[in-house]
Amino acid sequence: MALRSTSPAPCLLSGYPGLQLLDASGAALPTTVVRKGTYSFTAMAPAPVTLTTGQSAYFNMGYSDVPVGQETSCPTSLEVTPPNAYGHLTLAAALAPCGGGTIVVSPVFAPTAANTQTTAPAPG
């Protein structure tokens, strides 16, 4: 996912975004956010990213879509809060993270940062 700066001033991001799953009416669903995790595409170290107007920082997410226990419904929206921010964005999302809404997330990164990957690896 990408976070694009619309500010006329430079913006410094560092760390992990906040995530909250929402149901169709916008109510919060159980969400467990695991920072870094064991997926290779989320396990990078945090590093500061400075953005100017129109530039983007990225973060990767991973989750299992295999139902656990009594799970029967899937989230329809995702609330994203940039690192160290109070405001958030709500995005329509085709996510189905099971395990009580467990999502593994990477820190934000610049597209040119070393050791980054903007897409999940192919299954196999």
Q: For residue 94, is pLDDT > 60?
A: yes
pLDDT (0 to 100) of residue 12: 93
What's the average model confidence in pLDDT over 112-123? Answer: 50
CA distance 109 to 15: 9
Q: Please say whether the beta carbons of 57 and 51 come within 8 A.
A: yes
Q: Residues 47, 36: contact at Cβ < 8 Å?
A: no
**Residue of 70, 64, 60 lying closest to 109 (CA atoms):** 60
Q: Which two tokens stand for residue 105?
A: 């997330």
Strand 49-51 and strand 77-81: the pairing is: unpaired
- Give 23-81 pLDDT, tens digit per residue: 878 888 889 999 998 888 888 889 999 999 999 999 999 888 777 777 666 666 889 99
**Looking at residues 92-108, what average pLDDT do you find?**
83
